[in-house]
Amino acid sequence: MKISENEDSITVYLTGDIDHHSARGIREDTDAVVQMKKPSVLNLDFSGVNFMDSSGIGFIMGRYRLMSLYGGVVRVVNVPEGLAKMMNLSGLSALDIMERRGEKIESTK
Amino acid sequence: MKVQNEMSMSFESRSSNEGFARCAVSAFVTQLDPTISELNDIKTAVSEAVTNCVVHAYRNTIGKIYINVRIKENFVVVIKVRDTGCGIGDVRQAMQPLFTTAPSEERAGLGFAVMQSFMDKVNVRSKTGKGTTVTLEKRLSCRVGNG
Ligand SMILES: Nc1ncnc2c1ncn2[C@@H]1O[C@H](COP(=O)(O)OP(=O)(O)OP(=O)(O)O)[C@@H](O)[C@H]1O
Ligand SMILES: [Mg+2]
């Protein structure tokens, strides 16, 4: 997992399989940086993720709540085709944190 | 429906086995030449069922998880995931989307909803104090060269 920082945003590049087993480490690493930097935007970049079950949805919702605590936002970016079904089913689109198709986000480069 | 091939395995309810379980089932089903998306659906549903055994059925303990996979006629795959853990008191309620008994652990309450939308059929049999069996069924698309 790689993390990059801009002035006011942090991008977490998630990789591999996200399941109940791996979510714990990902959560701890992400929250450590977020709590230290308190960015106004947290980008969760899924481009390197091969597999994700509902534990990944729990992870996104947890970060959404954490960021909301101090007025920050979460953005879910670069979701691979294979994860689209899971993301759609989750109802996360209602939170308006999903990157829209065609819209590229600066900090993901 | 006639069973054409069958596989069974059991393993301990350690979270490190979640990846092993879904990959083992996926490797077995690969002989049917499924599409990538079908294989991903199966892996995801198995991951949900196995994680539920680890997280809920055997909470704070280690127990055995049993998986049985049957390949039947017409490319039908039937997967049973069984535990002898705490069981589910109200299965209908448990299967409601967003229902979870572990919200503080960042569970989304979507496991059963995912199984239902990624598979053709999901059946849950459970008895409090005895355990739970989740049966997942999916018919794979028939592709030329299959047989
Ligand atoms: N094998 C099981 N043994 C005991 N209880 C279970 C089992 N499977 C599911 N449950 C109960 O059913 C509820 C719903 O399960 P479901 O998988 O839909 O959501 P979850 O596991 O709570 O969250 P998520 O799957 O999104 O991480 C669980 O919270 C738990 O109370
Ligand atoms: Mg679950």
C-beta atoms of B19 and A59 within 8 A: no
What percentage of chain B has pLDDT greater than the value 70?
97
The average pLDDT across B43-67 equals: 98
Whole-number mean pLDDT of chain B?
95
d(CA A71, CA A92): 18
Do B13 and B63 contact (CB within 8 A), yes or no? Answer: yes
Residue A35 lies in a domain: yes
Residue A3 lies in a domain: no
- Tell me the CATH number at A100: 3.30.750.24
The average pLDDT across B119-131 equals: 98
Residue with tokens 């739970």: B132
Residue with tokens 């596989």: B7
Number of neighbouring beta carbons within 10 Å of residue A94: 8
- The boundaries of the domain holding residue A51 are 9-104
Q: Which ligand is nearest to the CA of B91?
A: 1
What is the number of domains present in chain B?
1
Nearest residue by C-alpha to atom 3 in ligand 1: B57
Our CA-based measurement puts residue A50 at a distance from the nearest CA of chain B, in whole angstroms, of 10
Q: Please check the confidence at residue A103 and state whether its pLDDT lies above 70.
A: no
What per-residue confidence (pLDDT) applies to A10? Answer: 96
Give B20's DSSP letter.
Answer: H
Residue B32 lies in a domain: yes
One of B107, B125, B137, B139 is an active-site residue; which one?
Answer: B107
**Structure tokens of A36?**
């230290």
- Which ipTM value was assigned to this complex? 0.94
- The boundaries of the domain holding residue B94 are 3-139
Residue A80 lies in a domain: yes
Residue A55 lies in a domain: yes
Residue A109 lies in a domain: no
- Tell me the CATH number at B44: 3.30.565.10
Residue A4 lies in a domain: no
Q: Beta strands B3-12 and B131-139: pairing type?
A: unpaired
What is the number of domains present in chain A?
1
- Please report which confidence band the pLDDT of residue A108 belongs to, taking 50, 70 and 90 as the band edges: very low
Q: Please check the confidence at residue A105 and state whether its pLDDT lies above 90.
A: no
Do B134 and B80 contact (CB within 8 A), yes or no? Answer: yes
The average pLDDT across B46-63 equals: 98
pTM higher than the cut 0.90 = yes
d(CA B75, CA B146): 9
Q: Please check the confidence at residue A100 and state whether its pLDDT lies above 70.
A: no
Residue B134 in 3-state DSSP? Answer: strand
Residue B26 lies in a domain: yes
Residue B83 lies in a domain: yes
Q: Give the number of beta-carbon pairs within 8 Å between A and B.
A: 63
pLDDT, tens digit (0-9, with 9 covering 90-100), for B66-91: 999 999 999 999 999 999 999 999 99
Residue A43 lies in a domain: yes
CB B102 near ligand 1, within 6 Å: yes
d(CA B147, CA B142): 9
**Structure tokens of A29?**
């690493």
Q: Please check the confidence at residue A37 and state whether its pLDDT lies above 60.
A: yes
Do A42 and A12 contact (CB within 8 A), yes or no? Answer: yes
Residue A27: its chain B contacts at CB < 8 A?
A: 106
B92 catalytic residue (yes or no)? no
CB B122 near ligand 1, within 6 Å: no
Residue with tokens 């069973």: B3
Residue B92 lies in a domain: yes
Q: Which ligand is nearest to the CA of B63?
A: 1
Residue A57 lies in a domain: yes
